[in-house]
Structure formats: C-alpha cells, structure tokens
Amino acid sequence: MLIESSWRGPTCAKGDAYAKLWDWQTNTPEHAGDQAPYLADLLENTLTTVITLNGDGRPARTEIWSGIPGNGALLESWERLSEELVQADRVPAQTFSAQPPAAIVRRSYGQPSSSFARAMRGAGLEEVLQFASSPVLGFTPGSGNPEFHAFEIPNASPTADLPFTSGTNVFENIALGGYAFLSTYTITSTDGTQMLRFYQGPAREMAANLKVQGIWNSSVAQPITIGDQTVQAWDVIDMGAERHWLLFEYKGTLVAAQDADIRMWPVLSRLQVLNTPNALTR
C-alpha cells in the first residue's frame, strides 16, 4: 500500500499523469472533461495505491483510491484474470481497431458562432414537428405571451455527416448532434424588449448527452410553475462561457433556457405543447 499526499504534483506514483489530468480538468475542462478518471471535483488530498498479490507473490489486482480504501472513491483498478494465450480466431474482428467509436467523433470548426451558423438553419413549425422526437414546447399568440421569432434545426442528419462541435456551449453541441433544436422568442414589457432563447429535445437523449458533456460551475435546485404544475428545475452555470441556464423537464421534453433569470419565470409558466403547424398563427 502506498499513501501519497502530493498527488496533484509530478511526484505522484502515477508520474505526472494525474497532475496533468487534474490541471486540464480544472482549468480547461473543454479539453479533458470527458477523460477518466475525473479528478477536478476531488476534495481529498490523500491518494492510496493498493496492490494485492496472489499466492505466487505476483500482482493480481491494483487499485487507486482517493482517500481511505473502501471508504473513499475508487478512481482506477486493474485485475489480472488470466494468463491464457488466446488464439487469434477467438478474438473479435474489431477488438484492436484503431477507429474510435462514432459517439466520440466530432468535427470542430473552431469558433462556436461560425460552426453553429453553418450547421443550423431556420425552420417552420411543421418541419420542427417532423424533426422533434418529443413534444414541442412554445408559446401561442396571445396577450402577454412572448412573440415567436425563429426555430433553428440541424442542417444535416448526424448520420449523414460527422456532428459539429462548439467549444463553449454544451447545448449547441447537443443541437448540432441532432438531439435538440433552438427556439427564440421576443418578450416585450415596460422595461423594453428581451430575447428568450431555449434549446429543447427528448429528455432521455439530452440527459445522456449532458452526463458526458455537461460541466457546471454551480447548480441550484429551483422549483418553477408551468401551467398548473410545479416542475423541478436547475439553475446552472456552465464552465465554458459561464452562462446561466435554467434546466427542466416538462412532458418528456428537456428545456435549457439561456439567461432565464427570475424575471422570466412567470413567462415560462405559459409554455405549452405546440401540436399543429398552425399553432403559431392567430
């Protein structure tokens, strides 16, 4: 057993691998936020390496723990299960393929605004209803309701080309991957005019993407009201551009409203399902 208290430095038994990974995940999460193990949120200063020997005195299992083994967080482990020589015909054909999984392949165009502009296009409600795989949420024309401005959907199917990436906006990435679209409305009040922008898509797929791509500076639970329902929302700040987002699920659709502060919550309460192509006409 090896116990270290300086694992964030190059003297760690892992060499400088952990020190570099911790630095990248802390200071440039967009470059290493999806690499394992995730170290940026570890508060424990002690790193414990445990090597278990088998009967012949050779290493059989190695574990790296944050804190005390068994009570802390298990960061990595390796186990020698067998020393059998496997015949080549028993190895699946793609076991040692150099091609990365399609789920982690992205095409980056550098500046988020330019990549997003080239990869998204305007669409009408009829096309959005065909694109969406969960209820489409929005506002119908009426007194006090936000005025519709635009829908934007991906320019091409993610199966036809590699998804684009935006370096600082996780919801742009999800939209560019074909799992969400952008809705924009105009709110007019005595204080002036304000844009309400929100991404929406099927809750299950968007949540799965957020587990991989979402990195937050902070998150606070915030119940809001939509129609006659109380919905659990989360007020989060992303790490990339430090934007505020209000995240909530309603009728199977996950919504991410950009910069939706407390003044917008009464407006969001008027959200409803848009079922027909003429739902935005008076």
What mean pLDDT comes out for the span 172-194? 85
What mean pLDDT comes out for the span 24-48? 73
Mean pLDDT of the residues in the chain: 81
pLDDT of residue 112: 46
Per-residue DSSP letter, 90: G
pLDDT of residue 113: 46
pLDDT in tens, 209-268: 888 777 777 888 889 999 889 999 999 888 767 788 999 999 999 999 998 877 888 889
For residue 120, the surrounding DSSP H or E stretch is strand 120-123
pTM score: 0.62
CA–CA gap between residue 142 and residue 281 (Å, rounded): 10
Phi, psi of 214 (to 5 degrees): -75, 125
pLDDT of residue 46: 81
Of the ranges 21-30, 88-97, 200-209, the best mean pLDDT one: 200-209
Mean pLDDT is lowest, of 28-32, 157-161, 187-191, 246-250, for 157-161
246 forms beta bridges with 235, 257
Q: Which of 271, 256, 120, 244 is nearest to 187 (CA)?
A: 271
What mean pLDDT comes out for the span 1-25? 74
pLDDT in tens, 131-150: 999 999 999 988 788 999 99
Mean pLDDT is lowest, of 6-10, 38-42, 121-125, for 6-10
CA–CA gap between residue 89 and residue 273 (Å, rounded): 55
CA–CA gap between residue 245 and residue 235 (Å, rounded): 6
Q: Which of 59, 53, 50, 49 is nearest to 18 (CA)?
A: 49
